[in-house]
Amino acid sequence: MHKRTSDKSLRRMKSMLKWVLFVLVLGVLAFSTRFLGWGQQDFLTPEEREWLEEHYRDISVAPDPRWTPSQSIEEQQIYYGISSDFMALVERKLNVRFTWLQADSWEEVLEMEEAGKIDIHPVIFQTPDRDADWLFTDAYMRIPVIAVMRASLLERFQPEQIWGLRMSVGSGYGIENFLLQHADRSLSLIPVESDRFGLIKAALGEIDVMVTDLASASYYIEEEGLTNLRLAATLGSLYEFRFASRRELPKLHSILNKALAEISREERRRIYDRWIVFDTRPFYRSVTFWYFAGVSLVFVLLVIGVILAWNAALKVEVDNKTAALLDAQRKLEDRVRQRTAELASANAALESEMRERARIAQDLLHVSGNERARIGRDLHDSVGQKLVGMLYLTRVLAEQLEEGHREEATSVYKILDVIESSLTEMKQIVRGLLPVDVLDKGLVSALEALTKETEEYHHIDCRFVCEDEKVAELDHALATNLYRIAQEAISNALKHAAKLTQILVILAFEGDDGILVIENDGEGIAKESDSHWAGMGIKIMHYRAMLAGGHLDIAARENGGTIITCHFDRHLKEPVDGESL
């Protein structure tokens, strides 16, 4: 009897071990198919493969020697860096080896390009001028554009102070063009020779902010040991890496795109992890995590197999094992309840943080409005009074010279005209900076004054339409946000719209909802994705629309021009402390 029981347990153990081996074999096969490329087919068409085999020896690649880190070991001609790693990976996917050219400077690369010696740029910033001569592949990596400053400066740094800081960018780099295209105001940039020297100057205090991409910053901070530098902010956009091939070689462009598409997420992640030090990814996106998770899973499977086989052979201990499992289950339930409580607490803290951030964002708008008002008052009380004094003194001098029949009187009258023009322009600036008093005058009166001043000073047809008495019921804070949205929309049209002749502002109500419309017949600003629409002004307009209980839409008119629509809740009660925003 005992022998039959032992034989039965042995057969069960063998059966379980067979299943474990079967699972391991399936895992090995899956790994081989995924990582060794067994069974993969050529992703190129026969015509593309034939063209590549015939021409790849004549195709030359020229890395940018300025960018991190497009460098080479001179003795071995081995290039390394993000773009070079991707190009080498593409070569492996295509099973070819292109000709790599070495240059000591970007100017030397441009000379080789002018001479027609370059067929592929591994990384180059895409611009309309370059589109005429080069075909750009899909982006194979996107790196954030960041601002780096010293830790001591970052501790007392406020976002609105950034425009007053000494800001640098690599001269001739793609980042410089990127900032000039996407900034919502004129930037005063201090050019530096390279990202390396810019970061060193920032560490030494010669400049305040260095604007670069995440890859360059992480590489040089680690290489140079610049431990006092910190990430101050990301600039809200990504620096895209693309291959550029000569427009005369469309097949090469197609081949490069297909090769990039074959690069897996894991291969991209390995290159990213190799060069980017600022790692803010969650743990579960780490290759190391998944490696140890896989090893742990295999180990757990083996342990489970051994336990099941051992339990089958030692059935007499089933009761004890069951009791142990029940005890473990109770402990696990206790841990689950504890973790659930911790997650609930963390969720409450997160919600509180989100509310605090929303409050801080609104406070920033208040601070911005107060600062604008202060600047407007300072301009009016200081510069304005001095200009008025200069105006009267110059007029007296001109009259005296004219009475004496002096030839200088003509020049003085010209100076008088310039002073009068400057005084008029300053008054316009002060009107834009000082807060509008919508509490006393009301939103309708404020918008009527805004359109009237715009028509008077800019000589265009600017009208305001409102035939609904419900506007009197609007809360002061809501009315202030609506006025600022209209003011910003008119300002954008005056700055950016070509051939502008008419601006129309409409305020109306549909049931309990209100609508504010600002439309113009100008050209060139219909798309919110345009660079001058991607600035802080549009973001603040969207935020003000959210504070008004609605949203903002920007679209093109059918007959040309732009229409901006703000939907809002006329019953919204949003208290605003301090002056009007």
Residues 266 and 133 reside in one and the same domain: yes
- For all residues of the chain together, what is the average pLDDT? 76
Do 176 and 237 lie in one domain? The reply is yes
For residues 299 and 447, membership in a common domain is answered with no
68 has pLDDT over 60: no
Which residues, at least 6 apart from 366, have a Cβ–Cβ distance to it below 8 Å? 576, 577, 578, 579, 581
- What confidence tier does 73 reach under pLDDT thresholds 50, 70, 90? very low
Token digits of residue 201: 């100057």
Q: What distance in Å separates the CA atoms of residue 250 and residue 135, rounded to the nearest whole number?
A: 8
Q: Are residues 305 and 340 in the same domain?
A: no
Residue 150 structural domain = 141-241
Overall domain count for the chain: 5
| pLDDT one-digit tens code per residue, 124-156 | 777 788 888 899 998 887 777 788 888 888 777
Q: What is the pLDDT of residue 78?
A: 44
Output 457 or 521, whichever has higher pLDDT: 521
Q: Using the predicted structure, report yes or no on whether residue 273 has a pLDDT greater than 90.
A: no
pLDDT at 280 > cutoff 50: no
Q: Of 426, 459, 489, which closes a domain?
A: 426
Q: What is the mean pLDDT of residues 334-349?
A: 89
Residue 461 lies in a domain: yes
- CATH number for the domain including 533? 3.30.565.10
Q: Higher model confidence: residue 464 or residue 539? A: 464
What integer is the mean pLDDT of 454-482?
Answer: 81
The per-residue pLDDT for 421 is: 77
Tell whether 106 and 248 lie within a shared domain.
yes
% of the chain beyond a pLDDT of 70: 72
More confident residue, 531 or 213: 213
Distances (CA, A) of 540 to 223, 450, 486, 487, 545: 39, 19, 12, 12, 8
Residue with more model confidence, 216 or 11: 216
pLDDT band at 581 (very low <50, low <70, confident <90, very high): very low
User: In CATH, what number is assigned to the domain containing residue 228?
Assistant: 3.40.190.10
Percentage of the residues of the chain whose pLDDT score is greater than 90: 6
Which of 182-186, 194-198, 233-237, 565-569 bottoms out in mean pLDDT, i.e. has the lowest?
182-186
Neighbours of 229 (CB within 10 A): 21
In tens, the pLDDT along 403-433 reads: 877 778 788 888 888 887 787 777 667 666 6
Q: Which residue has the tokens 């419309």?
A: 517
Least confident of 67-76, 103-112, 158-167: 67-76
Considering only residues 196 and 158, tell me which one the structure prediction assigns the higher pLDDT.
Answer: 196
State pTM to two decimals: 0.39
| pLDDT value for 297 | 87
Is the confidence at residue 503, as pLDDT, over 90?
yes
Give domain status of residue 399, yes or no: yes
Clarify whether residues 360 and 462 are in a common domain. Answer: no
- Residue 332 within any structural domain of the chain: yes
| pLDDT given for residue 74 in this prediction | 41
Q: Which of 477, 473, 471, 475 is nearest to 447 (CA)?
A: 471
Pure H helices in 212-286: 214-224, 250-261, 265-275
CB-based contacts of 123: which residues, under 8 Å, 6+ apart? 63, 64, 67, 70, 82, 83, 241, 242, 243
22 — pLDDT class (breaks 50, 70, 90): low
